[in-house]
A = this chain, B = another copy of it.
Amino acid sequence: MRLSTRGHYGLKAMYDLARHYGAGPIPLKNVAARQNISGYYLEQLIAVLRKGGLVKSVRGAQGGYVLARPPDEIRVGDIIRILEGPIAPVECVSEIRTAECDQADRCITRTVWEKVRDSITQVMDSISLADMCREEERSRQNRE
């Protein structure tokens, strides 16, 4: 019951971009260094996020990446769906295109996975990058 590092690193990177939102394009190298992720690897992940429309790139020197929308309009679920595909604890209850299960509607285990899926999406879709930034702010103040 695991996410791969794709989703894990992807959220870290997007959160990093959110924290620097408004400061112009952020070079990936900086993101990778701050979040302690392989730069080469992150390059591949950000390409997927760009094609998915979550970030925009600025090429050339002084270039980098910027969130395509403000932090309060990007939710964790958006990121995970793009990097890991539709949320589905088992393939027969995928958010997208339900592969026809042989047992069809008399499969009771299916309803269990639907409940699990719904609880995951409920959490992921309720948290935006802006929420995460606010939470960081709060916990930073607590430490002082």
Contact = CB atoms under 8 A, between A and B. Distances in A.
Number of this chain's copies in the complex: 2
A127 interface: yes
**Mostly helix, strand, loop or mixed at chain A's interface?**
helix
A88 B8 CA distance: 12
B11 A120 contact: no
A69 interface: no
Nearest to A118: B123
Interface residues of A, number: 41
The 9 A-B residue pairs with the shortest CB-CB distance, nearest first, are A119-B119, A8-B90, A108-B136, A119-B123, A3-B89, A108-B132, A11-B109, A115-B123, A116-B123
Interface of A: 1-3, 5, 7-8, 11-12, 15, 36, 76, 80, 84, 87-91, 102-103, 105-106, 108-109, 111-113, 115-116, 119-120, 122-124, 127, 132, 135-136, 139-140, 143
